Structure 1
Amino acid sequence: MLRPMPPALTLLLWTSAMLITPCAFAEAADHSLPSVAVSVDGLRSFGTSGKAVYPFTEGDKTEATLFEHEGKGCLTHMWFGGNWPNYERQRIRVYVDGEETASIDMELFLGHGIGFKDDFGPWGTKRIGKTGQPSGIYNTYRIPFGKSVRVTAQLHPGDTKNKRFWYIIRGVENLTVQFSGVRLPDNARLKLYKLENYAAQTLEEFDMCNTKRPGMLYMVTVAAKAGRSHTYLESCVRAYIDGAAEPMLLSSGLEDYFLGTYFFNRGMYHNEVAGLTHMNKQDHSFSAYRFHEEDPIFFNKGLRLTLRCGEEIGNQRHNKRTQRWKAPPTTYTTYVWIYEW
């Protein structure tokens, strides 16, 4: 026989339930995620924007300073707008801590994972995107600096007249950089390694980057084009970590590295980890980006990252024989972003 609950006990249970906050429920449901304490002490936002400005006073001879800031911090956002031929190929440079040569020197579209001036849009992720046609390019790259930062823009060679330009640049003083629950060292700096218009021969293995410093691989963009066929997509991406003679295979094919399959047979896509930003079956060209925020690759004594024009591989666990896929000579442009310290 059921008996009514005493009023005092009912009140106690009701009061206890009220003390279990929504945050407590969220913590219980998300107990597998690492807890990262973030202090707001010393954090202070900074930034600027330019609306319909004309910064390129001498055309392509002008490297226009869009923004500069003194102190310690991290860039967190950039957005760019404009509409003129070769807008996509203007150069954006980021100088940190007074360096004379910019550690980040990128063509606008390639710096956001887009090759061959592909104007497809809108699309976007938390880190990069293209929201308009034309322009509307943005990123939320974390670009740390210790003393100062300066961001510049320069027109593509041959653009001799000034252009009307829009931009937004923002950051936070004393903000640290963290990925996958790991806080990067305070002296970590984001560096861009470029290989531009490299003509690779059949089965040639070539470097996309080769650094001797410790760090973390952050992002890779590849834009490639061959005279016939997409066979170059058979290439495995190889990482030689800390001077190793044998590589760690990062993929079972180039489209696989960018999370595609069967030569990207389903067409364009964009997600937080990877995306296909250009595909042309007529001229056998493609471009794609890949982030390593949630799939971190760390190294202590350096990283050599390579591609092959086609593929030659053997002595695998489940297939010992040597296999070859011979791609025709292919032209590559690659951007490899690395945090080094």
Structure 2
Amino acid sequence: MTTDDWVSAAQSALRAGTRSRSFTAENPTAAVGNGGRTSSVLGPGRKGRPCITLPAGETVTLANAAGAGEIRHIWCTVTNHTGAVGFVLRDLILRMYWDGSDTPAVEVPLGDFFCNGNGQRSLVTSALIVVAPTSGMNAYFQMPFSDGARITIENQHPVDVDGFFYQIDYLEHERAEVVGDLRFHAEFRRENPTAHAQDYTLLDGVIGRGVFLGSSLTIVALERYWWGEGEMKFFLDGDTDFPTICGTGTEDYYGGAWAFQDRLSNEFEPEVLTYSAPYVGYPTYVTRDESKQAVYATAMAPVHGMYRWHVPDPIFFHSDLRVTLQQIGQVGPDLVERADDVSSVAYWYQDTPSGSGRPLPARPQRTPR
């Protein structure tokens, strides 16, 4: 968007009576003139409640907006470990509900939603997700609603999680018709391990009209050699055995090439190159476990994390959508079927406020191994 486009949109919003609001720990209802009022040792209105505690086993409401509006920015941060066994970024579950629906349109572990899969932190610098030092997690998805919005976070970690900081910025509209009928959705999936010769499914069961926005993918390589020859496939509007859109390989789909490796510097031990760009990225490559779960930092199966946003190249569907990824690798010149630990988040817009109701994998099925 150019500056002229931004100013034009701002002028239109002002004429329509749009107002800016924000949910925070200090102003949990986003009430007018109620920000930063709590007291600290410095006195009233001096940063008295910048964060909250997430009690173990409980769900906390972060935002509850009435009427029509549009969430434009979410920022939060939290530790990625405690003294308890577990991975905080996989144990905190983010849910979003639109227009009074009881079925969440978004149900994703917190870290995975922000392209930090496998319970690990990574820096991400993209157009829609930014994870800045140290674990400042930002989302810039536009999330419209016509009749209320609710955002919650559930703590499935074994103990309380202290120091959860957050800010949710949204626009409050006077008229519901300005937001249209498409609603933001996101869904987490994991298979550990995947099945040989069976494609991994990122998304299926989507019936209706909408646009696929993108995905984040985490692969823990459980087998030797190169893992990323699988093609991303988009089955659109009645496609059955074969998709309308099919890529050329996993690293290719996420914007890279040649196994993300620089073979010119060392043919036998090529350097793996990570990157993070506005619409594509491979920000995560980890081969040593340095989490608090390990007594010593130790070698582990390589973890690969990727994302892609279909902003300049949207994928529209008019009746149904299914997205899959082949589990294919390469040994020497030969293609081979593989079985790895694969997890993903699919992001899309659809003409319904409700999610599919597909059960979120339980904590034991989400826990990194």
TM range (shorter): 0.7 to 0.9
> Does residue 248 in structure 1 map to residue 244 in structure 2?
yes
> Does residue 173 in structure 1 map to residue 162 in structure 2?
no
Alignment of 1:151-230 (within 5 A): 151-158=151-158, 160-174=159-173, 186-210=180-204, 211-229=206-224
Report if the CA contact (8 A) 1:230-1:263 is conserved.
Answer: no
Give the distance between the partners of 2:162 and 2:96, measured in 1 at CA: 20
Report if the CA contact (8 A) 2:145-2:179 is conserved.
Answer: no
| Identity rate, percent | 21
How far off is 1:185 after superposition? 7.4
Give the distance between the partners of 2:322 and 2:80, measured in 1 at CA: 38
TM-score normalised to the size of structure 1?
A: 0.77
> Does residue 108 in structure 1 map to residue 102 in structure 2?
no
Q: Which amino acid aligns with 2:341?
A: T
Q: Which amino acid aligns with 2:180?
A: D
Give the distance between the partners of 2:100 and 2:192, measured in 1 at CA: 31
How far off is 1:227 after superposition? 1.8
> Does residue 143 in structure 1 map to residue 121 in structure 2?
no
Q: Which amino acid aligns with 2:127?
A: K
Q: Which residue of 2 aligns with 1:280?
A: 286
CA-to-partner distance for each residue in 1:75-128, whole Å, 9 max, x for gaps? Answer: 00111122251332212211111222211112112101122233233x423321
Report if the CA contact (8 A) 2:80-2:121 is conserved.
Answer: no
Give the distance between the partners of 1:173 and 1:197, measured in 2 at CA: 39
Give the distance between the partners of 1:306 and 1:268, measured in 2 at CA: 24
The one of 65, 70, 83 aligned to 1:69: 65
Alignment of 1:76-91 (within 5 A): 76-83=72-79, 85=81, 86-89=87-90, 90-91=92-93
User: Which of these two proteins has the greater Rg computed from alpha carbons?
Assistant: 1
TM-score normalised to the size of structure 2?
A: 0.71
Could you tell which deviates more after superposition, 61-70 or 166-175?
166-175
| Aligned-residue CA RMSD (Å) | 2.9
Q: Which residue of 2 aligns with 1:8?
A: none
Q: Which amino acid aligns with 2:98?
A: V
How many residues align structurally?
290
Report if the CA contact (8 A) 1:112-1:139 is conserved.
Answer: yes
Give the distance between the partners of 2:199 and 2:96, measured in 1 at CA: 30
How far off is 1:175 after superposition? 9.8
Aligned with 1:255: secondary structure?
helix
Unaligned runs of 5+ in 1: 1-22, 177-183, 313-322
